[in-house]
Amino acid sequence: MSRPFAHLVLLSLLPGTGCALIGMQREDAISTGKPVTVDQLSEFKGDAPVRTILRLNTSNVTTLATDQRIRSGIWEELDESGLMSPEDRRRLNQSGLRVGVAGSTLPWALNSLLRGERVQNASSRKERGEDTRKADGSTVFGTQLVLPEGSTSLIEIPSPEDSLLIPAGHIAGLKHGVELQNARCMFHVSTADIGDGWVVIKFLPQIHYGEMSVRYSIAESGERLPVRQRIQPLYEQQFELKLHTGETVVIGYQKQDDWSVGRLMFQNESLSSRNEQVVTIELAAVETVQGEKSVTVKYSKY
pLDDT for the residue numbered 282: 95
* 301: Cα separation from own chain's centroid: 35
Q: How far apart are CA 180 and CA 268, in angstroms?
A: 15
pLDDT for the residue numbered 108: 92
CB 243 within 8 A of CB 193: no
H/E/C letters for each residue in the chain?
Answer: CCHHHHHHHHHHHHHHHHHHHHHHHHHHHHHCCCCCCHHHHHHHHHCCCEEEEEEEEEEEEEEECCCHHHHHHHHHHCECCCCCCHHHHHHHHHCCEEEEEECCCCCHHHHHHHCCEEECCCCCHHHHCCCCEEECCCEEEEEEEEEECCCEEEEEECCCCCEEEECCCCECCECCCEEEECCEEEEEEEEEEEECCEEEEEEEEEEEEEEEEECCEEECCEEECCEEEEEEECHHHCEEEEEECCCEEEEEECCCCCCCHHHHHHEEECCCCEEEEEEEEEEEEEEEEECCCCCCCCHHHC
CB 275 within 8 A of CB 261: no
Q: What are the phi and psi torsion angles at 33 (to 5°)? A: -65, 140
Q: Alpha carbon of 271 to those of 245, 265, 268, 274, 275: distances in Å? A: 42, 19, 11, 8, 11
Question: Along the 302 residues of the chain, how does pLDDT read in single tens digits?
Answer: 555 555 555 555 555 444 444 444 444 444 445 666 766 666 655 666 778 999 999 999 999 998 999 988 999 989 998 889 999 999 999 999 999 999 988 999 999 888 877 554 444 444 443 333 334 456 777 788 999 988 899 999 988 778 888 888 888 878 788 888 999 999 999 999 999 999 999 999 999 998 877 656 555 555 555 667 889 999 999 999 999 999 999 999 999 888 999 999 999 887 778 899 999 999 999 998 876 666 565 555 54
pLDDT for the residue numbered 230: 87
pLDDT for the residue numbered 249: 96
Q: Residues near 196 by Cβ (< 8 Å), separated by ≥ 6?
A: 286
* Of 158, 233, 151, residue with least CA distance to 199: 151
pLDDT for the residue numbered 71: 84
Q: How far apart are CA 263 and CA 96, in angstroms?
A: 6
Q: How far apart are CA 14 and CA 9, in angstroms?
A: 9
Q: How far apart are CA 54 and CA 243, in angstroms?
A: 11
pLDDT for the residue numbered 276: 93
CB-count exposure of residue 234 (10 Å: 0-12, 13-18, 19+): buried
Q: How far apart are CA 154 and CA 184, in angstroms?
A: 11
pLDDT for the residue numbered 213: 75
CB 83 within 8 A of CB 228: no
pLDDT for the residue numbered 219: 52
